[in-house]
Amino acid sequence: MTILAVFRSRSQSLDFAQRLLSYGIPAETVSAPKEARIGCGLCVRFDQREFARANAVLKMGKYSTFKGYYKSEFVGGRQRVVPFGG
């Protein structure tokens, strides 16, 4: 399963993705799905197995525009995006 970290700022999305990579956590910046209802259009995608480590990295930074985590999965051939609490 994929987790999306959603931010209201493009620069904070990009910074968070770089930080994850610097800690050895595979991540990429991708277009945010419309279901996340955000303005900047970018989010950071990583595998759910890395959630604990990624969340620790998030807490180390000062990400004032962080909106939340979302779970992304395909169900019946359609993408389903729902809030994820960890």
Domain residue extents for the chain: 2-77
Query: Residue 72 has what pLDDT?
Result: 86
Provide the CATH number for the domain formed by 2-77 in this structure.
3.30.70
Mean pLDDT by 10 residues, the chain (86 residues): 91 97 97 71 94 97 92 85 84
Q: What is the pTM of this model?
A: 0.88
Query: Residue 43 has what pLDDT?
Result: 92
Query: Residue 39 has what pLDDT?
Result: 58
In the 8-state DSSP scheme, what is residue 48? G
Query: Residue 28 has what pLDDT?
Result: 96
Q: 33 exposed, middle or buried (CB, 10 Å; 0-12, 13-18, 19+)?
A: middle
